[in-house]
Each structure stands twice: as structure tokens, then as C-alpha cells.
Structure 1
Amino acid sequence: MTDSSGGSFRDGDPVERNSDEDDSESQESLSADLARRFFEACPVSAVVIDATGEIAHATDRAVTTLGLPREDLVGRSYDPSEWDLFYDDGTPVPIDEHPVTRVFESGDPAFGFEYWIELPDGSRRWFSSNAAPLFDTDGDVEYVAVAFEDVTPLKQRETRLTSDHVRLLEFRADESAVPPSLRVDDDRTWIDIDSVVSLPDGTTVQYMGTSDLTASEFVTAVEEVPHYLDARLLSSVGGYNRIEAHSESETVAHVFTALGGRPREIGIASDEVRFRGELPGDVDHQQAGDEIRRFHPDAELVTEELVYSPQLLYDVVADALTDRQLAALDAAYFSGYFDTPRTSTGDELAARFGVTRQTFNQHLRKAERTVFQHLFEKSGAAGTD
């Protein structure tokens, strides 16, 4: 690739600085080299489109973000009619409102343009883009540079914060999902899912409770599920038993969390398992069904209900916390760290997260401070650490 000044993107030999001309050539060479290295290492999704409408360059991150092979992206014609962009309400973005079209026609940059598209894998993703012109020596727009980022998680959080309804779903799986020790009992066992916490090493910790099983029966049943590595009893009070289960991978409960909702409970009979959870009101239940069928291919949706959700404070606080802080607070609360006496120690929790006790305490203290600020400060604004 070469720059418009005619210099090539290659490392040159040292240049003697004996004249103004030499200085100018050195600066041009440095600019070309810097541009080459910038595009090679660029940490954002970006493409460059030439005046003929062809995509002349794409960063590695752009290739990954769009889910297209590089050979299918670079050299491809940027025909706005082939890139179906949609506004928030699902209305297609007219061709003359595409940011690339606008920049080529006006010569003015277009910042903060938000839209969603459907990727080749069928998923719907939100993007925020900034487009700017690159002019030739005559002042005409020769290229348009477009930087864009996937903002889908932010849009999902925004939807949760502005939606007052959730969708309660119940899926059914057959006997193969039933732990062996529970296949002989005709009574239905209900297990509450308190929280699912993702750990830095890719494993998860799930906090669950039930009054339908004894402590030993509960631990045994969970350990019989293949993807759980271990389970330990946290507390047994008034016939209600709570455990912590460590999983080597995602579980069905994690499906609801990943889609912006929450798992609720699991109902186990001798011949079937029921999974109940909630999703934001605007999330298609088919997404949850497709993910659950990765674990249980025969799983089917049996009930669906739209209900009011009083979870606003939780969502506001969760939005203000980092992922690490929220995970630390979740794990501390549901593992009994705040109970008297404690059922989990700081050292045990730090070990779960693979960090030092000091690091875990820092995450926890910052999370606690954020929660207190939202409870007690009139503005709810986060303070400085």
C-alpha cells in the first residue's frame, strides 16, 4: 500500500539531515512508515473507501467485528444498497443518509452515527461510526475513512434501564438432563438460582438454594451434572440449603445472564427438567431457545409471560460497576461473605477469582462504595476513587 504522496510504506535507511530538502524527504518517509505501522496495529475497527466506492483497506479489528474474511472485505465495492443499515425502530437507513454517501457528497465528516446490521452469522449487532474525508491535492474527496465499534452490549444495557417489563420464560428438557439420583422420585424438586458469576479463567460459579433436598442430596445431585467441577455447602438454615457450584464452562443458567436477563429456578422431575428465567422484554425468546439447545438439543419453550420488573435500582448499580466489581459483589453476597458467621472467607473468594486477597478486596470495596453512593447521594453520581 502506498500513500497519496507517492512514498512507499517501507522501512528506509537512515537519512542524512544536511538540508531542508533532506528534512522534508525524511518527514515524508517517517509519515509513510508511521501510517503503515498504524494501520497494522490499529486497535479500532476502521475501513478506507476510495472515490470509486471500493474498500481499499480494513484493519484487523474491522475484519473481526464484521465477521467477514479479509478477501471478502478489501476490494469489495461499498454499495450502500448492499449494506442494509437500520435505525433503532427498524426503519432502513436511506442510501442518501449513509454516512459514507454523505461525506463523499458534502466533504464534511459525519460523527456519532448509530445503526444496526445483521451479520453473516445471523446475529443483529449495533454499531457507532465516525466518517471523515481524505482530500487530494485539488481539494476533492479522494477517500473516506470510517471508524466504527460494536456497541451492542451498551445498547442492551440501555434497553434494560429504560424497559419496565421482563419476559418470563420456561423451557423443558427431557430425562437426559435429570441427575441420576433424582430420576427415581416422582415429586418435583425446585432449585432457586441466585446468581451466576463468570471467573477470569473462563469458568463460572453458580449460587443455588433449595428446601426440597437435604444438604447431602443437593450436593450429590449437582455433582452428577457433567459440567460441574465441584459443589460445596454454604449454609443450611431452617431446612433451606444453599450451595456454591463451580462449572468448567457456561451452563443453561448463564444463557439468561448473557442475554441481559436472569435465571430464576430449575424444576426437576423424574422424567424432565424445567428451566425458568427472565429476559428483557425486547429480547426474542428464540435467542434463548437456540442457546439452551446447545446444552439440551430437545429443549422446547413451554410458557412465556410478560410481567412488570421492579429491578431498576439493580440495573442502575450494575451499569455503574465494572464487570470485575459486579462479579466480586455477586460472589461475596451469595457465598455468605457478609453473613454472621461467614460461610465464605475473603481468601476463598480471592482463590476462586485467581487473584490476591488484596486485589479482591479492592474490587469489593469499590463495588460497595458505588452501591452506597446510589443509595445515599441525591444525584447518584459516582465519586472518585
Structure 2
Amino acid sequence: MTDARPRDGHDDGSNENESPEALPEGLARRLFDACPVGTVVIDSAGSVAFANERASEALGLPREEIVGRPFDPSEWAVSYDDGTPVPVDDHPVTRVFETGTPQFGFEHWIELPNGAERWFSSNAAPLFDESGGVEYAVVAFEDVTSLKRREKRLTSDHVRLLEFRTDESAVPPSIRVDDGETRIEIDSVVSLPDGTTVQYMGTSDLAASDFVTAVEEVPHYLDVRLLSSVGGHNRVEAHSESETVAHVFSSLGGRPREIVVAPDEVRFRGELPGDVDHRKAADGIRRFHDTVELVSEELVYSPSLLYDIVADALTDRQLATLDAAYFSGYFDTPRSSTGDELADRFGVTRQTFNQHLRKAEQTVFQHLFEKSGADAD
């Protein structure tokens, strides 16, 4: 095989004497560009000699800002899971150049230019020169942050119950109170493919029409639909063009629970995974209400193994489809939402929506009724 270093040029197929094992001219570069995982090539001086498009996307930098940059982990804010910076001597690239052997399964946090932290899994391998020395190190990496977060949820058996308080300006004037309390339960927040969200809420403290009107008065809601009114309890579906306070909890792996409107104040209640700091939720809520403060915090034991197993097995789209179907009343008799209405929310055909829903249902039933590998013996 010819030198696998990426290089410019195109294969014109003119070299008829080339052996079957040799790469055509320019194919190496094209292979790197087409590689579905982030790939960078480090030269013996410790600088990035090449980066493919997937690497550019994962690192949040244009390729011209990656090439020529030192691989030194301190330059990239690379750290272990506990936040400890990765020393240059422990980095797989260093070991590849020192030992000439591939390094597999290196996982680490990396801080991107926009401040976001991502969990990467990478493998590194040497490319040798004609004398047998390591000329380049090839590093292939993937962003596996979602898997890392799911792993943390599976290993955490506690939730953090939080209550935040701000002033009454957080809610429309129509539902502010002089005495007593108005409680609005948050059932679920579902993220849609177009970046908007759907929020399912219920209350027994407001008449159906007053509830719909109050939600419509909140600027970021595009539309509101009454789902049901049974026994004095009213439920609505609210479509939001942007994030909401409730979405703050969901985005951190938790769940919003309730909005309590009291005289001169509004309280937001929700839960976070036990290993998530409450300050992250506070910072998120302050983007909407800068006077918010933490009122109470309680760490409680709350195992949810079945939910976590099922959520891990479903795709994001399948989970969102199942979530929306359940909380919108699709499974109720009579139905509060039709398949056509839900398909329209997701911007897909009824057939596509049904496919996502059936696959999600099958996964849930499989985990509920079939024995696990450990139990099947």
C-alpha cells in the first residue's frame, strides 16, 4: 500500500502498472474527508497536519484553525472525567510517537470554543516512514456525550428536588393572586425537530378558558390547545418557539414539576439528576428571570431503572414521539390528540409518525415482558 498520508490531487486512473494493493492517487485524502468520524493527523513536531470535515464539526472550528495547531491537551482544554487536566505525557498521541503502538479507547472531556463541554472517545495509531520511525499519528474520535449522560443517569439512583423563587412578573397578570395559590403542573416538555418545544401542563385552580388565555399571554408561546377538562382538572398543550423555564430542567436531564403562583411571588419546582449541581438550573432560569433564587433543595432516593433502560434503548425521535403521544392524550379514550395532529407537530407524515410510535412501543414492551440475558438462563 502506498503512503497513507493525506495529500491533494485526484485519481485519473492513468497508472495501469499500479499494483492492486496500492491506493490510487488522491484516494487517501478523499477517504479521510469521507470518514464518518472526526479524524486528525499529527506530525512528528506535534502539530495538526490534517483535519477532516467531521473533525471540524465536532471541534467547532474551521479546518484552517485546526491545521497547524499543537495537539498539546492544554491547548484544547482536555480533561479526565473528574475535571483533572490530561498531562501531555499521558495523551495517546504522545504514547503513539514514543511506543509506535496504537492506543485505543481514550475518553475525555474537551471544552469547545463556545464553552460547551463534550465527551470524546478516541483511538490513535502510527504511520511509519520508510526507515520505520513514526512520522504521523492518526487520531479518530467521536462525540459520545449523549452516551455519557445516559450512563450517568443509569448509575445515579438519587434525584435533586429543587424549588426556585422569583417575583410575580414571571407570570401573566391574569393569573397573579392576592391570596391563596395557583398551581400549574408540568407534565412534560418535548423538543421538536424544528427546534421548538411542546409543553404539556395541567391545573385544577383555573377554569379551562382562563387557563388557555393565561398561557396565550406568555410571549414565547406560538399556540395553545385545550386537551381535556375532566372533573375540574384542565390540561393544555402549549407550543413554544423558544426555550422555557420548564425546558431548563429537561435540558439538564431532569424534569420540571410545577409552577406555583402565590401573592407577590412565583415558585418553580423541578428535579435534576443527583449528580447535577443546582447552580446549573439557577443559571438557566436567570436567562428568563434574573431575580430568581434557590428556596429549597432535597436529595432523595428515587430509582427509575426501567425508564432509564427504555430511554437508553430508544432513539431521541422515538422517545419524543412516545412522550408527546402519552402526554397529549393520544392513548386516552376518547383521544385528546389524533395521530394527524401529532404528526403535524413533528413535521412528518402520519405514516412516519406511526412508524416511530410503533417502534417505541415495541421497545417498551420488549423490556417489560421479555427476560433479560441474566434472567433467561
TM-superposed CA distance for 1:300, in Å, is 2.5
- Is 1:306 matched with 2:305? no
Q: Which one-letter code corresponds to 2:14 in the other structure?
A: V
Q: Residue 254 of structure 1 aligns with which residue?
A: 247
> Is the 8 Å Cα contact of residues 182 and 269 (structure 1) preserved in structure 2?
no
**Which of residues 285, 290, 307 in structure 1 aligns to 2:278?**
285
Deviation at 1:302, TM superposition (A): 2.4
**Contact 1:182-1:270 at 8 Å conserved across structures:** no
1:49-198 superposed matches below 5 A:
49-68=42-61, 70-80=63-73, 82-198=75-191
User: 29, 32, 37: which is aligned to 1:36?
Assistant: 29
* 8 Å CA contact retained: 1:178, 1:272: no
User: Are 2:10 and 2:27, in contact at CA under 8 Å, matched by a contact in 1?
Assistant: no
Distance 2:276 2:60 in 1: 22
User: SS where residue 122 of structure 2 aligns?
Assistant: strand
Give yes or no for the alignment of 1:318 onto 2:302. Answer: no
Change (3 A) 1:81 1:237: closer
Query: Using the alignment, how far apart are the partners of 1:233 and 1:371 within structure 2?
Result: 28
Name the CA distance, whole Å, in 2 between partners of 1:219 and 1:130: 53
- Contact residue 63 and residue 70 of structure 1 kept, 8 A: yes
Q: Match of 1:354?
A: 347
Deviates more, 1:264-273 or 1:131-140: 264-273
Cα distance in structure 2, aligned partners of 1:43 and 1:95: 27
Equivalent residue in structure 2 for 1:337, among 316, 330, 337: 330
Aligned partner of 1:15 in structure 2 is 14
CA contact (8 A) 2:224 2:237 kept: yes
The 2-side partners of 1:300 and 1:53 are apart by 47
CA 1:162 to 1:189, structure 2 compared with 1: closer, same or farther past 3 Å?
same
Residue 62 of structure 1, CA deviation: 2.2
- Pick closer, same or farther for the CA change 1:103–1:12 going to 2, 3 Å: closer
Contact kept, 8 Å, 2:74 with 2:85, in 1: the verdict is no
Q: What's the % identity of the aligned pairs? A: 76
Verify the 8 A CA contact 2:6 2:50 in the aligned structure 1: no
One-letter amino acid of the structure 1 residue matched with residue 355 of structure 2:
Q
TM-score (norm 1): 0.89
Q: Residue 96 of structure 1: CA displacement?
A: 2.9
In the alignment, structure 2 segments of 5+ residues that lack a partner are none
Does structure 1 conserve the Cα–Cα contact (< 8 Å) formed by 2:188 and 2:199?
yes
| Kept in 1: contact 2:52–2:63 (CA 8 A) | no
| Partner Cα separation in structure 1 for residue 43 and residue 260 of structure 2 | 58
1:22-69 Cα deviation digits (max 9, x unpaired)? x46x997x6342223334444422211101111112223323323345
- Contact 1:171–1:274 (8 Å) recurs in 2: yes
Which secondary structure does the structure 1 equivalent of 2:24 belong to?
helix
Residues of 2 paired with 1:78 and 1:144: CA distance? 11
Checking the alignment, whether the CA contact within 8 Å between 1:256 and 1:279 is kept in structure 2 is: yes
Q: How does 1:264-275 map to 2 (within 5 A)?
A: 264-275=257-268
Report the aligned-residue RMSD.
Answer: 2.5
Distance 1:354 1:123 in 2: 29
Q: Shift of the alpha carbon at 1:177?
A: 1.5
Gap change, CA 1:81 and 1:252, over 3 Å in 2: closer
1:199 paired residue number: 192
Amino acid at match of 1:373: Q
The Cα shift of 1:367 comes to 0.9
- CA deviations on 1:252-280 (whole Å, 9 max, x unpaired) are 11111111111111112353322111111
Following superposition, the deviation at residue 92 of structure 1 comes to 4.2
> Residue 347 of structure 1: CA displacement?
1.6
SS of 1:31's partner is coil
Contact 1:48/1:58 (8 A) holds in 2: yes
* TM-score normalised to structure 2 length: 0.90
Q: Which amino acid aligns with 1:146?
A: V
SS in structure 2 of the partner of residue 230 of structure 1: strand
| CA spacing shift, 1:203–1:8, aligned 2, 3 Å | closer
Q: Is the 8 A contact 2:254 2:270 kept in 1?
A: yes
Q: CA 1:139/1:312 → structure 2, altered by over 3 Å: closer, same or farther?
A: same
- Of residues 226-235 and 176-185 in structure 1, the stretch that sits farther from structure 2 once superposed is 176-185
Q: Which runs of 4+ in 1 moved over 6 A?
A: none
70-79 vs 7-16, greater mean Cα deviation:
7-16
